[in-house]
Amino acid sequence: MIYRDTRDSSFAVDFKTAVLSGMNAKTGGLYVPETIPKLPKDLLCRSVAPSFRDVALEAAKPFVDGEIPDADLQDIIIDAYPFSAQIVPIDRITYVMELFHGPTCAFKDFGARFMARTMSYFNRNENTALHILVATSGDTGSAVGSAFHNVPGLDVTILYPRGKISPLQEKQLSTFTGNVRALSVEGTFDDCQKLVKTAFVDADLRQKFRLSSANSINISRLLPQSFYYTYAALYVQQRAALDNKIENPSIIMSVPSGNFGNLTSGLIAREMGAPIKGFIAATNDNHTVPDWIFSGEYNARPSVSTYSNAMDVGAPSNYERIRHMYTLEQVRDLFASYWVDNQGTLDGIVECYKNTGYIIDPHGAVGWAAWNDIRSGAMEKLLNGEKCDPAKPGLTPNVPAWAKDIVDKKAVGVILETAHPAKFGEIVYKAIAREPSIPDRLQRIMKLPDMSIPMTNNYSAFKDWLIDNL
């Protein structure tokens, strides 16, 4: 498969180059597959819905064609995914796709673990380790650290702002040993990012070490996220006939979004032939994309902090990929868009719990609030020409091609639950006065010793440390 630069489509690379370089440093463009392959008919039409790993293998093959043989790809997938997405029906026409069954209890495990193993694979004939530097403001660092832990040929240094992330997040970052370590930087997330960026352009360091990043823009994090959309769509397609007697339902995926990597992966799954009718782009107060969808004008802005903090992104990097794949009109046909403020997020947790008994985290709650309002009348009002104010939380005035399926009761919703509620226990408690139960793997981490290394935000101190310790 050939991958092209979103900013200069004459520039093309193979999968290995796209994975190891992350982006085209010359243009600042991101890589997208030249064509989106179709899933085999056999996979889409099985009488029993395929397993997650079956889907993963079939869906990954064409993207790595000619570079990773099937047997090696299968080993990568088996090693990356000892867990799966789980689909839980919570009411007659609503399913939750739980994406938190990986080691760090958030959906980023799916992308990060595939990326780590493909990087290791491509590095297998080198004599020296590939050094990954990551700056994190929370969730990404733990997913990346955990995904690369004990993976041969790779070495990871995570930089995080000391005291500026949640105690659980700090534990998840600071307790690694072996090939993964965390530097607790005296400063802000921006300081961490600056140290990493300066290191990448430091000729002296580049000569000594092979440096790479594990950024969310890496195509090897995006592609594997498409696997669970296909898996869920095929599963729900079969379940729906039993659960609610809707034959061939229109499956709508409600995606709580920040950088829009997760949603872009859903678009890839749909293009590959997964039976997905449309998407709800659900955001918090950072509603750059909903604003773009209704107004046609894209205005990136500084982020504001909210209860769903992993979605606090004002300039979503995957906007560039979405624009490369579709025209604005196509986006308007595919997407409903919706945003909620903090109060709406708390209300979402409360209503989901009251109506269904399901305890949802603040990110999933944004997706739930959007779907629940859309199927309970908001879309019908919009279809009937009632005006809605895009400056207020709620459904954005855009009617997708599938709007009538909602009114005709032909649609089912799948809400992506991107993190385990225990990761955001305080906010959940604030909403429903109940603590979510804490999974064993999080409890174990809370007992491990802090191995983080204190660091100032001074570049030369950081550089000296790298030279002495890598």
Helix then strand then coil, in percent of the chain rounded to 5, is: 45, 15, 35
Whether 398 and 316 have beta carbons less than 8 Å apart is answered as no
Binding residue for ligand PLP (CB under 6 A) from 256, 348, 393, 421?
256
Q: Which of 118, 169, 259, 306 binds ligand PLP (CB under 6 A)?
A: 259
CB of 214 to ligand PLP, least distance (A): 14
215 or 398, CB closer to ligand PLP?
215
Cβ neighbours of residue 226 closer than 8 Å, sequence gap 6 or more: 59, 265, 266, 268, 269, 272, 274
**Between β-strands 86-91 and 154-161, what pairing exists: parallel, antiparallel or unpaired?**
unpaired
Q: Judged by CB under 6 A, which of 123, 157, 172, 262 binds ligand PLP? A: 262
Residue 321 found at the interface with ligand PLP (CB under 6 A): no
Residue 287 interacting with ligand PLP (CB under 6 A): no
CB of 410 to ligand PLP, least distance (A): 27
Tokens for 99, please give them.
């994406």
Shortest spacing between CB 219 and ligand PLP, in angstroms:
13
Q: Write down the H helix ranges in 47-93.
A: 52-60, 70-80
Q: Among residues 108 and 375, whose Cβ is nearest to ligand PLP?
A: 108
Helices and strands, counts by H and E, the chain: 21, 15
Burial of 329 (0-12, 13-18, 19+ CB in 10 A): exposed
Name the residue among 187, 216, 219, 213 with its Cα closest to residue 199.
Answer: 213
How many residues sit in the footprint of ligand PLP (CB under 6 A)?
Answer: 15
Q: Which of 251, 419, 427, 455 binds ligand PLP (CB under 6 A)?
A: 419
Only segment of 44-52, 176-184, 259-267, 331-339 that touches ligand PLP (CB under 6 A): 259-267
Q: Does 108 bind ligand PLP (CB under 6 A)?
A: yes
What is the separation, in whole angstroms, between the first and last Cα of the chain?
34
Does residue 258 interact with ligand PLP by CB under 6 A?
yes
103 forms part of the interface with ligand PLP (CB under 6 A)? no
* Interface with ligand PLP in residues 7-66 (CB under 6 A): none
Tokens 């007697």 sit on residue = 245
In the list 50, 141, 224, 261, the residue contacting ligand PLP (rule: CB under 6 A) is 261
**Which residues are CB-contacts of 203 (< 8 A; sequence separation ≥ 6)?**
none
Determine which residue in the list 169, 184, 212, 257 makes contact with ligand PLP, applying CB under 6 A: 257
CA distances from 464 to 45, 77, 176, 203, 469 (A): 57, 38, 22, 14, 8
Q: Going residue by residue from 374 to 413, which x/- string records binding to ligand PLP, judged by CB under 6 A?
A: ----------------------------------------
Least CB distance to ligand PLP at residue 255 (A) = 7
Bridge partner residues of 212 (DSSP): 132
- Chain residues binding ligand PLP by CB under 6 A are 106, 108, 139, 256-262, 310-311, 363, 418-419
